[in-house]
């Protein structure tokens, strides 16, 4: 485990789900432009179709184009067989739903020898978030917004802003930072064809400190990637800040009418790194 997901060229910003029992969609998902494709053995597959879905995925795995696999939760009848499949070199990482403690996370790591993305989607998962985040092999936390709201009895306003979940999202950002993990992955936007809603959701996630988002349809991918990638204006600002700070020899300086000191410079350097540029 080295903190980077095998087979993925950069830290993903858009993760795209595809049902494991729809193998005819795998190629389309791979061609969607998503940074990572998650083949879903859990929520997207009916109980009676689990074994067939696993077999279909096994036949489609390709070491040259590895996939992330969302397995069924620990304690379900399908967990052990899912783990065995995930030992395949065509699996880049394992997404573990209903992560509620370190035991299940350690089992995934020790059985598959793959990086793990636990989904925090219950009260118990939130309670154990700091322990889960520190398990060696965990590379990123993901937020299960729909299931968490259900578990807590939260009825989010139909406006879609999900202000009711703000405190819980922030816990994932804090837990990730304290464990020195990459910025977490926010949950899905269920309004598939509402591009404006998706844009607002992704921008909220980015402002809160998330670094990526789960997608449930290929047409969501480009919007999510655009939001989480630094804009040309943001990159230009970061360059101005770094150049001005360097010119003063490290003293505070005004840029665009705003005072710039070391914390601002560090943020600017992070923007450039996220854009793949020298900071």
Q: Is 177 left (phi over 0), alpha (psi -120 to 50) or beta?
A: alpha
Mean pLDDT over the full length of the chain: 91
Quote the pTM value.
Answer: 0.85
CB neighbours (10 Å) of residue 195?
Answer: 14
Give me the helices (H) in 31-189, please: 50-60, 79-85, 102-112, 123-127, 129-133, 145-152, 166-178
Residues in the chain, pLDDT under 50: 1-9
Residue 70: φ, ψ to 5°:
-90, 115
pLDDT in the model for residue 279: 63
In whole angstroms, what is the distance from residue 237 CA to residue 31 CA? 33
**What is the CB neighbour count within 10 angstroms for residue 174?**
15
Measured distance CA(47)–CA(149) in Å, rounded: 23
What pLDDT sits at residue 219?
Answer: 95
Residue 138, pLDDT score: 98
> What confidence tens digit (pLDDT) does each residue in 162-194 have?
999 999 999 999 999 999 999 999 999 998 889
Q: State how far Cα 10 lies from the chain centre.
A: 13
Q: Which fold has domain 14-228?
A: TIM Barrel (3.20.20)
Looking at residue 5, its pLDDT comes to 47
Residues 8, 117: Cα–Cα separation, whole Å: 14
Domain-wise residue ranges, the chain: 14-228, 232-274
Q: Which residue has the tokens 């995934």?
A: 108
pLDDT digits (tens, 9 = 90+) for 244-279: 888 888 888 888 888 888 888 888 887 887 777 776
């Amino acid at each position: 485990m080295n903190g980077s997901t095998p087979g993925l060229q950069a830290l993903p910003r858009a993760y795209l789900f595809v049902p494991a029992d729809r193998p005819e969609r795998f190629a389309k998902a791979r061609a969607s432009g998503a940074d990572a494709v998650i083949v879903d053995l859990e929520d997207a597959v009916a109980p009676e179709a689990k074994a067939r879905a696993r077999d279909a995925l096994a036949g489609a795995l390709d070491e040259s184009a590895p996939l992330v696999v969302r397995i069924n939760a620990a304690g379900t009848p399908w967990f052990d067989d899912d783990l065995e499949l995930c030992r395949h070199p065509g699996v880049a990482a394992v997404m573990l739903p209903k992560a509620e403690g370190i035991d299940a996370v350690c089992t995934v790591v020790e059985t598959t020898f793959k990086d793990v993305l636990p989904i925090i989607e219950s009260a118990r998962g939130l309670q154990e978030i700091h322990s889960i985040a520190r398990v060696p092999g965990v590379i990123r936390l993901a937020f299960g917004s729909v299931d968490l709201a259900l578990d807590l009895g939260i009825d989010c306003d139909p406006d879609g802003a999900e202000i009711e979940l703000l405190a819980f999202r922030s816990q994932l950002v804090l837990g990730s930072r304290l464990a020195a993990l990459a910025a977490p992955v926010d949950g899905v936007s269920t309004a598939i064809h509402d591009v404006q809603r998706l844009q607002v959701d992704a921008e909220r996630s980015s402002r809160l400190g998330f670094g990526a988002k789960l997608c449930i349809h290929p047409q969501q991918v480009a919007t999510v990637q655009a939001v989480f990638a630094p804009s040309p204006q943001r990159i230009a600002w970061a360059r101005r800040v770094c150049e001005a700070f360097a010119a003063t020899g490290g003293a505070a300086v005004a840029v665009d009418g705003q005072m710039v000191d070391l914390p601002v410079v560090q943020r600017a350097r992070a923007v450039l790194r996220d854009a793949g540029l020298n900071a």
